[in-house]
Amino acid sequence: MTTRDFTMYFQQIEKSHLADVMALEADRMANLQLTDKEFKPEMNVVKEERRMRIDDSARATVYEQMLAVLFNAAPYRNPTIGWPSDLDTMTVQDAQDWYHKWYAPNNATVVVTGDVNPDEVFRQAQRTYGKLQPHALPRRYAQDEPKQVGVKRIWVKAPAENPYVVLAYKAPPLRDVDKDVDPYALEVLSAVLDGYDNARLPNLLVKGKDEKGGRLADDVNAGYDGMNRGPSIFLLDGVPADGHTTAEIEQALRAQIDRIARDGVTEAELKRVKAQVVAAQIYKRDSVFGQGMEIGMAEMTGLSWRDLDRILEKIKSVTPAQVQQVAKTYFTEDNLVVATLLPQPIDPNKPARKPVPGMREEGGLR
Protein backbone atom coordinates (compact mmCIF):
# COMPACT_ATOMS: atom_id res chain seq x y z
CA MET A 1 0.00 0.00 0.00
CA THR A 2 1.33 3.43 -0.94
CA THR A 3 0.16 6.67 0.67
CA ARG A 4 1.36 10.23 0.17
CA ASP A 5 4.09 9.66 2.78
CA PHE A 6 5.21 6.04 2.67
CA THR A 7 4.91 2.59 1.13
CA MET A 8 3.88 -0.27 3.39
CA TYR A 9 4.17 -4.01 2.85
CA PHE A 10 2.18 -6.15 5.24
CA GLN A 11 1.33 -9.78 5.86
CA GLN A 12 -1.08 -11.37 8.32
CA ILE A 13 0.40 -14.75 9.15
CA GLU A 14 0.53 -17.55 11.67
CA LYS A 15 3.35 -16.72 14.08
CA SER A 16 5.38 -19.83 13.29
CA HIS A 17 6.02 -18.35 9.81
CA LEU A 18 7.36 -15.02 11.08
CA ALA A 19 11.04 -15.88 10.62
CA ASP A 20 10.45 -17.00 7.02
CA VAL A 21 8.45 -13.88 6.16
CA MET A 22 11.14 -11.65 7.68
CA ALA A 23 13.77 -13.38 5.56
CA LEU A 24 11.70 -12.90 2.40
CA GLU A 25 11.01 -9.23 3.14
CA ALA A 26 14.66 -8.54 3.94
CA ASP A 27 15.63 -10.11 0.63
CA ARG A 28 13.05 -8.00 -1.19
CA MET A 29 14.46 -4.87 0.44
CA ALA A 30 17.99 -5.49 -0.84
CA ASN A 31 18.00 -7.79 -3.85
CA LEU A 32 14.98 -7.02 -6.02
CA GLN A 33 15.70 -7.24 -9.75
CA LEU A 34 13.14 -5.70 -12.09
CA THR A 35 12.80 -6.72 -15.73
CA ASP A 36 10.74 -5.44 -18.64
CA LYS A 37 8.88 -8.74 -18.65
CA GLU A 38 7.60 -8.05 -15.13
CA PHE A 39 7.42 -4.27 -15.38
CA LYS A 40 5.22 -3.79 -18.43
CA PRO A 41 2.27 -5.96 -17.31
CA GLU A 42 2.39 -4.40 -13.85
CA MET A 43 2.41 -0.90 -15.34
CA ASN A 44 -0.72 -1.80 -17.31
CA VAL A 45 -2.33 -2.83 -14.02
CA VAL A 46 -1.38 0.50 -12.44
CA LYS A 47 -2.79 2.43 -15.41
CA GLU A 48 -6.07 0.53 -15.16
CA GLU A 49 -6.13 1.16 -11.43
CA ARG A 50 -5.79 4.88 -12.07
CA ARG A 51 -8.58 4.81 -14.65
CA MET A 52 -10.93 2.97 -12.28
CA ARG A 53 -10.12 4.85 -9.08
CA ILE A 54 -9.64 8.38 -10.40
CA ASP A 55 -10.55 8.92 -14.05
CA ASP A 56 -13.89 7.08 -13.75
CA SER A 57 -14.73 8.63 -10.35
CA ALA A 58 -16.09 12.16 -10.44
CA ARG A 59 -15.31 12.82 -6.77
CA ALA A 60 -11.78 11.44 -7.05
CA THR A 61 -11.19 13.62 -10.10
CA VAL A 62 -12.38 16.69 -8.20
CA TYR A 63 -10.15 15.81 -5.25
CA GLU A 64 -7.11 15.31 -7.49
CA GLN A 65 -7.64 18.65 -9.22
CA MET A 66 -8.26 20.36 -5.88
CA LEU A 67 -4.92 19.19 -4.47
CA ALA A 68 -3.11 20.38 -7.59
CA VAL A 69 -4.48 23.88 -6.97
CA LEU A 70 -4.29 23.90 -3.16
CA PHE A 71 -0.55 23.26 -3.01
CA ASN A 72 2.03 25.20 -5.01
CA ALA A 73 5.21 23.65 -3.59
CA ALA A 74 4.33 20.61 -1.49
CA PRO A 75 4.64 17.26 -3.32
CA TYR A 76 1.05 16.51 -2.24
CA ARG A 77 -0.02 18.48 -5.31
CA ASN A 78 0.82 15.38 -7.36
CA PRO A 79 -1.33 12.23 -7.11
CA THR A 80 0.27 9.27 -5.37
CA ILE A 81 -0.40 6.99 -8.30
CA GLY A 82 1.03 9.57 -10.71
CA TRP A 83 -0.35 11.59 -13.59
CA PRO A 84 -1.15 9.67 -16.80
CA SER A 85 1.97 11.09 -18.46
CA ASP A 86 4.10 9.77 -15.59
CA LEU A 87 2.80 6.27 -16.16
CA ASP A 88 3.19 6.53 -19.93
CA THR A 89 6.85 7.57 -19.76
CA MET A 90 8.13 5.59 -16.75
CA THR A 91 10.67 2.89 -17.55
CA VAL A 92 11.89 -0.17 -15.71
CA GLN A 93 15.17 1.69 -15.12
CA ASP A 94 13.25 4.52 -13.42
CA ALA A 95 11.69 2.01 -11.04
CA GLN A 96 15.03 0.28 -10.39
CA ASP A 97 16.73 3.63 -9.68
CA TRP A 98 13.96 4.56 -7.22
CA TYR A 99 14.34 1.22 -5.52
CA HIS A 100 18.10 1.58 -5.07
CA LYS A 101 17.70 5.16 -3.88
CA TRP A 102 15.10 4.63 -1.14
CA TYR A 103 14.97 0.94 -0.20
CA ALA A 104 17.47 0.70 2.63
CA PRO A 105 17.35 -0.57 6.22
CA ASN A 106 18.05 2.95 7.50
CA ASN A 107 14.92 4.16 5.71
CA ALA A 108 12.53 1.46 6.92
CA THR A 109 10.61 0.52 10.05
CA VAL A 110 9.58 -3.06 10.82
CA VAL A 111 6.42 -3.41 12.92
CA VAL A 112 5.37 -6.76 14.38
CA THR A 113 2.14 -7.05 16.39
CA GLY A 114 0.40 -10.06 17.85
CA ASP A 115 1.11 -13.02 20.09
CA VAL A 116 4.90 -12.97 19.80
CA ASN A 117 7.89 -12.89 22.11
CA PRO A 118 9.58 -9.48 21.73
CA ASP A 119 13.08 -10.79 22.43
CA GLU A 120 12.69 -13.49 19.79
CA VAL A 121 11.33 -10.96 17.28
CA PHE A 122 14.39 -8.76 17.80
CA ARG A 123 16.69 -11.75 17.30
CA GLN A 124 14.90 -12.68 14.08
CA ALA A 125 15.08 -9.09 12.84
CA GLN A 126 18.79 -8.96 13.57
CA ARG A 127 19.37 -12.22 11.68
CA THR A 128 17.51 -10.95 8.61
CA TYR A 129 17.39 -7.16 8.34
CA GLY A 130 20.53 -6.79 10.45
CA LYS A 131 22.64 -8.21 7.62
CA LEU A 132 21.58 -5.47 5.20
CA GLN A 133 23.97 -2.59 4.62
CA PRO A 134 22.64 0.96 5.05
CA HIS A 135 23.45 3.59 2.46
CA ALA A 136 23.26 7.36 2.21
CA LEU A 137 19.80 8.69 1.46
CA PRO A 138 18.96 11.70 -0.71
CA ARG A 139 18.64 14.95 1.20
CA ARG A 140 15.05 15.72 2.12
CA TYR A 141 13.83 19.17 3.04
CA ALA A 142 10.50 20.80 3.67
CA GLN A 143 9.09 22.84 0.81
CA ASP A 144 7.30 25.73 2.45
CA GLU A 145 4.09 26.81 0.77
CA PRO A 146 4.05 30.40 -0.48
CA LYS A 147 1.41 32.51 1.20
CA GLN A 148 -1.95 32.26 -0.53
CA VAL A 149 -3.75 35.54 -1.19
CA GLY A 150 -7.48 35.10 -1.63
CA VAL A 151 -9.71 32.10 -2.23
CA LYS A 152 -8.95 29.82 -5.18
CA ARG A 153 -11.83 28.29 -7.14
CA ILE A 154 -11.96 25.55 -9.73
CA TRP A 155 -14.81 23.89 -11.60
CA VAL A 156 -14.38 20.32 -12.76
CA LYS A 157 -16.48 18.68 -15.47
CA ALA A 158 -16.99 14.94 -15.16
CA PRO A 159 -19.78 12.42 -15.83
CA ALA A 160 -21.87 12.25 -12.66
CA GLU A 161 -25.44 12.11 -11.41
CA ASN A 162 -25.16 14.87 -8.81
CA PRO A 163 -23.21 18.07 -8.28
CA TYR A 164 -20.69 18.17 -5.48
CA VAL A 165 -18.55 20.79 -3.75
CA VAL A 166 -15.46 20.49 -1.56
CA LEU A 167 -13.89 23.22 0.56
CA ALA A 168 -10.23 22.58 1.40
CA TYR A 169 -8.43 24.68 4.00
CA LYS A 170 -4.69 24.49 4.63
CA ALA A 171 -4.10 23.39 8.23
CA PRO A 172 -1.09 22.54 10.41
CA PRO A 173 0.03 18.95 10.93
CA LEU A 174 1.00 17.51 14.29
CA ARG A 175 4.72 18.09 14.83
CA ASP A 176 5.39 18.38 18.57
CA VAL A 177 3.11 16.10 20.55
CA ASP A 178 3.50 18.04 23.80
CA LYS A 179 3.76 21.64 22.59
CA ASP A 180 1.24 21.68 19.73
CA VAL A 181 -2.34 22.69 20.49
CA ASP A 182 -4.10 23.46 17.22
CA PRO A 183 -3.92 19.98 15.61
CA TYR A 184 -5.78 18.49 18.58
CA ALA A 185 -8.37 21.27 18.50
CA LEU A 186 -8.86 20.75 14.75
CA GLU A 187 -9.39 17.03 15.34
CA VAL A 188 -12.08 17.82 17.88
CA LEU A 189 -13.63 20.49 15.64
CA SER A 190 -13.93 17.91 12.87
CA ALA A 191 -15.83 15.63 15.25
CA VAL A 192 -18.09 18.47 16.40
CA LEU A 193 -19.06 19.06 12.78
CA ASP A 194 -19.26 15.52 11.46
CA GLY A 195 -17.93 12.94 13.85
CA TYR A 196 -21.07 11.06 14.73
CA ASP A 197 -24.83 10.78 14.24
CA ASN A 198 -25.57 13.82 16.38
CA ALA A 199 -22.86 16.02 14.87
CA ARG A 200 -23.80 19.48 13.66
CA LEU A 201 -23.50 19.10 9.89
CA PRO A 202 -25.68 16.01 9.39
CA ASN A 203 -28.17 17.22 11.98
CA LEU A 204 -28.63 20.67 10.49
CA LEU A 205 -28.03 20.15 6.78
CA VAL A 206 -29.15 16.57 6.09
CA LYS A 207 -31.67 15.75 8.82
CA GLY A 208 -32.79 19.33 9.35
CA LYS A 209 -35.45 21.18 7.41
CA ASP A 210 -35.07 24.22 5.20
CA GLU A 211 -37.66 26.97 4.82
CA LYS A 212 -39.53 24.82 2.28
CA GLY A 213 -39.75 21.86 4.63
CA GLY A 214 -37.05 19.86 2.83
CA ARG A 215 -33.43 19.18 3.53
CA LEU A 216 -30.54 21.18 2.13
CA ALA A 217 -28.05 18.35 1.52
CA ASP A 218 -28.08 14.67 0.68
CA ASP A 219 -24.62 14.27 2.17
CA VAL A 220 -22.11 16.43 4.06
CA ASN A 221 -18.73 15.62 5.56
CA ALA A 222 -15.88 17.18 7.50
CA GLY A 223 -12.43 15.75 8.06
CA TYR A 224 -8.95 16.52 9.33
CA ASP A 225 -5.87 14.33 9.62
CA GLY A 226 -2.88 15.87 11.35
CA MET A 227 -0.58 12.87 10.99
CA ASN A 228 1.34 13.78 7.83
CA ARG A 229 4.95 14.46 6.90
CA GLY A 230 3.83 17.53 4.97
CA PRO A 231 1.05 20.11 5.38
CA SER A 232 -2.41 19.01 6.44
CA ILE A 233 -5.87 19.86 5.15
CA PHE A 234 -9.24 20.42 6.78
CA LEU A 235 -11.98 19.33 4.36
CA LEU A 236 -15.67 20.16 4.16
CA ASP A 237 -17.79 18.76 1.35
CA GLY A 238 -21.37 18.12 0.39
CA VAL A 239 -23.93 17.04 -2.19
CA PRO A 240 -26.99 19.30 -2.49
CA ALA A 241 -30.46 17.83 -2.17
CA ASP A 242 -32.95 18.23 -5.02
CA GLY A 243 -33.81 21.87 -5.53
CA HIS A 244 -30.60 23.15 -3.96
CA THR A 245 -27.21 24.15 -5.32
CA THR A 246 -23.54 23.72 -4.50
CA ALA A 247 -23.42 27.45 -3.76
CA GLU A 248 -25.97 26.92 -1.00
CA ILE A 249 -23.96 24.00 0.37
CA GLU A 250 -20.79 26.10 0.42
CA GLN A 251 -22.60 28.93 2.17
CA ALA A 252 -24.09 26.56 4.76
CA LEU A 253 -20.77 24.84 5.49
CA ARG A 254 -18.98 28.15 5.93
CA ALA A 255 -21.82 29.40 8.12
CA GLN A 256 -21.33 26.50 10.52
CA ILE A 257 -17.63 27.31 10.87
CA ASP A 258 -18.47 30.99 11.36
CA ARG A 259 -20.99 30.05 14.02
CA ILE A 260 -18.37 28.16 16.03
CA ALA A 261 -15.85 30.97 15.55
CA ARG A 262 -18.44 33.43 16.87
CA ASP A 263 -20.29 31.44 19.54
CA GLY A 264 -17.89 28.60 20.35
CA VAL A 265 -19.01 25.18 21.60
CA THR A 266 -20.44 24.24 24.96
CA GLU A 267 -18.50 22.28 27.55
CA ALA A 268 -21.19 19.57 27.49
CA GLU A 269 -20.98 19.18 23.70
CA LEU A 270 -17.21 19.10 23.82
CA LYS A 271 -17.14 16.51 26.58
CA ARG A 272 -19.41 14.21 24.57
CA VAL A 273 -17.48 14.69 21.34
CA LYS A 274 -14.06 14.17 22.92
CA ALA A 275 -15.25 10.93 24.48
CA GLN A 276 -16.36 9.76 21.03
CA VAL A 277 -13.07 10.79 19.41
CA VAL A 278 -11.04 8.94 22.03
CA ALA A 279 -13.30 5.88 21.75
CA ALA A 280 -12.81 5.84 17.97
CA GLN A 281 -9.04 6.03 18.39
CA ILE A 282 -9.04 3.19 20.92
CA TYR A 283 -11.34 1.13 18.69
CA LYS A 284 -8.60 1.12 16.04
CA ARG A 285 -6.51 -0.93 18.45
CA ASP A 286 -9.09 -3.70 18.75
CA SER A 287 -7.41 -5.61 15.94
CA VAL A 288 -3.80 -6.69 15.70
CA PHE A 289 -3.70 -5.24 12.18
CA GLY A 290 -5.06 -1.90 13.43
CA GLN A 291 -2.38 -1.71 16.09
CA GLY A 292 0.33 -2.31 13.53
CA MET A 293 -1.08 0.32 11.19
CA GLU A 294 -1.27 2.94 13.94
CA ILE A 295 2.29 2.26 15.10
CA GLY A 296 3.66 2.29 11.56
CA MET A 297 1.89 5.49 10.55
CA ALA A 298 3.19 7.32 13.62
CA GLU A 299 6.76 6.27 12.87
CA MET A 300 6.52 7.09 9.16
CA THR A 301 5.10 10.59 9.67
CA GLY A 302 7.79 11.82 12.01
CA LEU A 303 6.22 10.88 15.33
CA SER A 304 6.82 7.83 17.51
CA TRP A 305 4.72 4.88 18.60
CA ARG A 306 5.50 6.07 22.12
CA ASP A 307 3.45 9.22 21.40
CA LEU A 308 0.15 7.44 20.72
CA ASP A 309 -1.19 7.36 24.27
CA ARG A 310 0.00 10.92 24.84
CA ILE A 311 -1.94 12.05 21.77
CA LEU A 312 -5.15 10.67 23.30
CA GLU A 313 -4.47 12.55 26.52
CA LYS A 314 -3.92 15.77 24.58
CA ILE A 315 -7.23 15.31 22.75
CA LYS A 316 -8.96 14.88 26.11
CA SER A 317 -7.48 18.19 27.27
CA VAL A 318 -8.85 20.32 24.39
CA THR A 319 -10.93 23.25 25.65
CA PRO A 320 -13.90 25.10 24.12
CA ALA A 321 -11.71 28.18 23.74
CA GLN A 322 -9.15 26.22 21.71
CA VAL A 323 -11.81 24.88 19.35
CA GLN A 324 -13.21 28.37 18.89
CA GLN A 325 -9.73 29.76 18.24
CA VAL A 326 -8.86 27.32 15.43
CA ALA A 327 -12.23 28.07 13.82
CA LYS A 328 -11.20 31.74 13.79
CA THR A 329 -7.61 31.16 12.69
CA TYR A 330 -7.56 28.70 9.79
CA PHE A 331 -10.90 29.07 8.03
CA THR A 332 -10.08 32.17 6.04
CA GLU A 333 -10.22 32.86 2.32
CA ASP A 334 -6.43 33.02 2.26
CA ASN A 335 -6.36 29.33 3.21
CA LEU A 336 -9.22 28.12 1.03
CA VAL A 337 -9.73 26.28 -2.24
CA VAL A 338 -13.28 25.58 -3.41
CA ALA A 339 -13.67 22.82 -6.00
CA THR A 340 -17.07 22.31 -7.61
CA LEU A 341 -18.17 19.37 -9.72
CA LEU A 342 -20.21 20.26 -12.79
CA PRO A 343 -21.97 16.99 -13.66
CA GLN A 344 -21.82 15.88 -17.28
CA PRO A 345 -24.07 13.29 -18.94
CA ILE A 346 -23.24 9.69 -18.15
CA ASP A 347 -22.84 7.47 -21.20
CA PRO A 348 -25.34 4.63 -20.65
CA ASN A 349 -23.51 2.48 -23.18
CA LYS A 350 -20.12 2.70 -21.50
CA PRO A 351 -19.35 -0.67 -19.90
CA ALA A 352 -18.29 -0.71 -16.28
CA ARG A 353 -14.62 -1.43 -15.76
CA LYS A 354 -13.71 -4.67 -14.07
CA PRO A 355 -10.69 -5.08 -11.79
CA VAL A 356 -7.77 -6.62 -13.62
CA PRO A 357 -5.60 -9.36 -12.10
CA GLY A 358 -2.95 -7.89 -9.83
CA MET A 359 -4.92 -4.76 -8.94
CA ARG A 360 -4.31 -3.57 -5.40
CA GLU A 361 -7.00 -3.83 -2.79
CA GLU A 362 -9.38 -0.91 -2.31
CA GLY A 363 -7.54 2.03 -0.84
CA GLY A 364 -4.17 0.73 -1.97
CA LEU A 365 -3.22 4.12 -3.37
CA ARG A 366 -4.41 7.55 -2.37
187-209 pLDDT, tens per residue? 999 999 998 777 999 999 998 86
pLDDT computed for residue 286 by the predictor: 87
pLDDT computed for residue 359 by the predictor: 60
Question: Does residue 259 register a pLDDT over 60?
Answer: yes
pLDDT computed for residue 360 by the predictor: 59
Q: What 8-state DSSP symbol labels residue 365? A: B
Q: What 8-state DSSP symbol labels residue 54? A: I
Give the Cα separation of 271 and 252 in Å (integer).
Answer: 25
Residues 226-239, mean pLDDT to the nearest whole number: 96
The percent of residues above 70 in pLDDT, for the chain, comes to: 95
Question: Does residue 363 register a pLDDT over 80?
Answer: no
Give the Cα separation of 61 and 75 in Å (integer).
Answer: 18
> In whole angstroms, how far apart are CA 265 and each of 226, 235, 364?
21, 20, 37
Cα–chain-centroid distance for residue 55?
19
The percent of residues above 90 in pLDDT, for the chain, comes to: 85
Question: Does residue 108 register a pLDDT over 50?
Answer: yes
Helix (H) or strand (E) holding 257: helix 246-263
Give the Cα separation of 160 and 347 in Å (integer).
Answer: 10
Domain ranges of the chain: 15-131, 152-344
**Whole-model pTM above 0.85?**
yes
The answer as to CATH 3.30.830.10 being correct for domain 15-131 is yes
Residue 248 carries which side chain, given as an amino acid letter? E
Contact present, 103 and 277 (Cβ < 8 Å): no
pLDDT computed for residue 284 by the predictor: 81
State the chain's mean pLDDT as an integer: 93
User: Who wins on pLDDT, 178 or 276?
Assistant: 178
Question: Does residue 364 register a pLDDT over 60?
Answer: no
Question: Does residue 54 register a pLDDT over 50?
Answer: yes
pLDDT computed for residue 244 by the predictor: 95
Q: pLDDT by residue (tens digit) across 16-34? A: 999 999 999 999 999 999 9
Question: Does residue 150 register a pLDDT over 90?
Answer: yes
Sheet with 152-159: strands ordered across = 152-159, 336-344, 164-171, 232-240, 217-224
Q: pLDDT by residue (tens digit) across 300-343? A: 999 999 999 999 999 999 999 999 999 999 999 999 999 999 99
15-131 and 152-344, same CATH topology: yes
User: Who wins on pLDDT, 141 or 354?
Assistant: 141
Question: Does residue 220 register a pLDDT over 50?
Answer: yes
For 18, half-sphere exposure in the C-beta direction (CA atoms, 13 angstrom radius) is 19
Q: pLDDT by residue (tens digit) across 55-65? A: 999 999 999 99
Residues 226-241, mean pLDDT to the nearest whole number: 96
Question: Does residue 6 register a pLDDT over 90?
Answer: yes
Q: Of 188-192, 256-260, 279-283, which gets the smallest average pLDDT?
A: 279-283
Question: Does residue 256 register a pLDDT over 80?
Answer: yes
Closest CA to 190 of 202, 199, 178: 199
CATH assignment of 152-344?
A: 3.30.830.10
Closest CA to 246 of 91, 81, 87, 62: 62
Closest CA to 138 of 97, 189, 96: 97
